């Protein structure tokens, strides 16, 4: 996956790059109605995101750069965020169903599965933030 962004911070051999959430916003039906897109609404109108990237080209703060990420890794993260909560909600529903037929308890089991997912994803996200190598700056488009 290729995109462009602006270097906002240097951290040793890495850089923090701010990019626009274009792909998430472009297909949103709300955007066509002149409103904030659904993703931006959930993120309080934040249309940018920051990512840590290896900086082999020596980009400096303020530079407009092209960055590249492994598509398979990005798709894997998307699957974790979207599919894992569904799977654990179903597991919570069915596991609770072993002990009771009460729909309320089954629903609470499903909610516990979803909550467990997001706790796990939060911990996984913190671990990922400490690692580099997900994204690489491949070139400087414009110097500050």
User: 76-117, pLDDT tens digit by residue?
Assistant: 777 778 888 999 999 999 999 999 999 999 999 999 999 998
Instruction: Give the model's confidence band at 120: pLDDT under 50 very low, under 70 low, under 90 confident, else very high.
Output: confident
| pTM greater than 0.95 (yes/no) | no
The tokens of 51 are what? 């990512």
């Amino acid at each position: 996956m290729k995109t462009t962004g602006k270097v906002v911070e240097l951290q040793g051999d890495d850089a923090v790059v701010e990019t626009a959430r274009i792909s998430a916003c472009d297909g949103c039906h709300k955007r066509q109605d002149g409103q904030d897109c659904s993703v931006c609404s959930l993120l309080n109108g934040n249309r940018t995101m920051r990512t840590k990237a290896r900086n082999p080209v020596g980009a400096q703060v303020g530079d407009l750069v092209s960055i590249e990420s492994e598509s398979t890794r990005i798709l894997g993260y998307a699957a974790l965020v979207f599919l894992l909560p569904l799977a654990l909600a179903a597991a919570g529903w069915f596991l609770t169903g072993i002990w009771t037929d009460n729909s309320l308890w089954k629903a609470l089991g499903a909610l516990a599965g979803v909550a467990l997912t997001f706790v796990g994803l939060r911990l996984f996200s913190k671990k990922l933030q400490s690692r580099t190598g997900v994204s690489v700056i491949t070139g400087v488009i414009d110097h500050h």
